[in-house]
Amino acid sequence: MFTPIINTISIVIGSLIGIFIKKGVPKNIQNILFYAVGLSTIGLSLTMILKTNNFLIVLSSLAIGGIIGELINIEGKLKKIGDTIKEGDFSTGFVTSSLLFLVGPLTIIGSITAGLTNDGSLIYMKSLLDGISSIVLSSIYGLGVLLSGFSVLVIQGLLVIFSSKLSFLTTPAYLNDLIAAGGVMVLGIGLKILEIKDTRVGNFLPALLICPLLVFLVNLF
């Protein structure tokens, strides 16, 4: 559990730095940062989507996960938290940073490697990258980015704890479609950041659980 704790600390420290910096950043600089993050997010999403093995699995997982998310109203609950702490961009910051920090090969392979072999080098490298990213993201979105550190702690922690049971996720059959599903959601975030379309990305989060299940079922036949 040491590696996810280090990763969480790096995000928290980076977020605190970003929140502090935000107070002295002129509006025009904040706007250009929005554009930089939005365009970069779309670029990242395309590289993730192109990894897919079977786009029908990605589409199905997003459709099923989206329905579940709508019924639970994940996005609405996140916005309610933002309203409670009077931070309008809370949900965007939380979902954006959680996806960027959690949906990727470094998270899955690094966490399972740490759990199986006690080698945390991949997560330590990821911690440095996440710390730098959280400075930029929190300078725009504030507390939502900081609190995403705790989602990293919980999910990476579970990956480490159950690493011997989840090692199948590191195989391309599962990993590529999971990353692609995350990539579609990251694309939705990019569109939202650029104010092109609010895609209610938070409600698609259950798709990350549905995707491996669909891959397993397809591989049975």
Q: Which residue has the higher pLDDT, 156 or 77?
A: 156
Please say if the pLDDT value at position 71 is more than 90. yes
Please say if the pLDDT value at position 20 is more than 60. yes
Q: State residue 88's pLDDT score.
A: 57
Average pLDDT over residues 126-135: 88
Q: How confident is the model at residue 25 (pLDDT cuts 50, 70, 90)?
A: confident
Length of the chain: 221
Please say if the pLDDT value at position 87 is more than 70. no
Q: State residue 83's pLDDT score.
A: 66
**pLDDT tens sequence across 173-199:** 898 998 899 889 889 888 888 889 888
Q: State residue 8's pLDDT score.
A: 93
Average pLDDT over residues 57-83: 88
Please say if the pLDDT value at position 220 is more than 80. yes
Q: Are 18 and 138 in contact (CB under 8 A)?
A: yes
Q: What percent of the chain has pLDDT over 90?
A: 29
Q: Which residue has the higher pLDDT, 124 or 85?
A: 124
Dihedral sign computed on CA atoms, order 106, 152, 134, 92: positive
CA-based nearest residue to 216, from 160, 178, 162, 161:
178
Residue 173: partners with Cβ closer than 8 Å, 6 or more residues away: 53, 215, 219
Average pLDDT over residues 72-85: 77
Q: How confident is the model at residue 214 (pLDDT cuts 50, 70, 90)?
A: very high
Q: What percent of the chain has pLDDT over 70?
A: 96
Q: Which residue has the higher pLDDT, 65 or 33?
A: 65
- The total of structural domains in the chain comes to 1
**What average pLDDT does the structure give for the chain?**
86
Between CA 149 and CA 127 the distance in angstroms is 11
Question: Minimum mean pLDDT among 32-46, 73-87, 163-177: which range?
Answer: 73-87
Q: State residue 104's pLDDT score.
A: 72
Q: State residue 50's pLDDT score.
A: 92
Please say if the pLDDT value at position 167 is more than 90. no
Dihedral sign computed on CA atoms, order 200, 206, 211, 214: negative
Average pLDDT over residues 90-99: 84
Q: Residue 101 is part of which domain span? A: 2-219
Tokens 């409670």 found at:
84
Residue 210 CA: distances (Å) to CA of 34, 58, 88, 109: 31, 9, 29, 19
